[in-house]
A and B are shown apart, each in its own frame.
Chain A
Amino acid sequence: QSALTQPASVSGSPGQSITISCTGTSSDVGSYNLVSWYQQHPGKVPKLMVYEGSKRPSGVSNRFSGSKSGNTASLTISGLQAEDEADYYCCSYADSGTWVFGGGTKLTVL
């Protein structure tokens, strides 16, 4: 049950697009299309942004999109806005029958 690997930080200017990667193994990300992404602002609870790899819950902006290739999932945020500045976590269901999170990525909007 090793944590999924995410970059510690990414940054971008307003209006730009950024992509956050999430690398796992053939026992989690690679085996299932069950990666979800969460946004967490400081002092707040996590918010579901993407589930089943690429689906958005009702109310989540279509600027957020998810994808997967092999053992790596990605979250892309287009048209960056100041309010997007937050920590982002990926999570995958795993062969162990439980879930595993990534270490988190701090997004800075310059």
Chain B
Amino acid sequence: EVQLVESGGGLVQPGGSLRLSCSASGFTFSDHSMHWVRQAPGKGLEYVSFISNNGDRTGYADSVKGRFTISRDNSKNTLFLQMSSLRAEDTALYYCVKDLRDKYSFDYWGQGTLVTVSS
């Protein structure tokens, strides 16, 4: 059974930093690109970032480019999102998402970790 378990969320002041983690199991982690998608309270889904299966390619939404960095450790089946210069508008539930291989879509989602940016 595929499981994606996020951690690392919490309350942080504007301008602060936070590192999210996602522990994956139930599939061959190193075979799949992984993504972060966020959802502000009561709002829609917003794409954040992706990383290829071996980490050689990454991509970011314009809204987080230059502030967020995605990475992965295939030896530990773990995905990361380093977030810095956080703003109030980054407040959201952050989902770790597995790709449906070669299909440019997302077939498994974690339960999410809540990031709140507030003073």
Contact = CB atoms under 8 A, between A and B. Distances in A.
Contacts of A34: 104-105
Contact of B103 (A3, A51, A89, A101): A51
A48 interface: yes
A45 B61 contact: no
B111 A103 contact: no
A52 interface: yes
B104 to A, nearest CB: 4
Given A101-B46, A103-B44, A104-B45, A96 B59 contact: yes
B104 A36 contact: yes
Interface in A12-53: 32, 34, 36, 38, 40, 45-46, 48, 51-52
B61 A1 contact: yes
A38 B35 CA distance: 15
Contacts of A97: 59
B60 A36 contact: no
Contact of A52 (B37, B59, B104): B104
In terms of DSSP, what is the predominant structure of the interface of chain B?
strand
A89 B44 contact: yes
Contacts of B60: 98
B103 A100 contact: no
Contacts, number: 67
Given A99-B47, A100-B47, A101-B47, A36 B106 contact: yes
What's the interface size class on A, roughly? 20 to 34
Interface in B55-93: 59-63
Given A45-B112, A46-B45, A98 B107 contact: no
Contacts of B104: 32, 34, 36, 51-52, 93, 99
A45 B95 contact: yes
Nearest to B59: A98
A38 B45 CA distance: 10
Interface of B: 35, 37, 44-47, 49-50, 59-63, 95, 100, 103-107, 109-112
State the 8 A-B residue pairs at the shortest beta-carbon distance, nearest first.
Answer: A36-B105, A51-B105, A104-B44, A45-B109, A98-B59, A34-B104, A93-B104, A99-B47
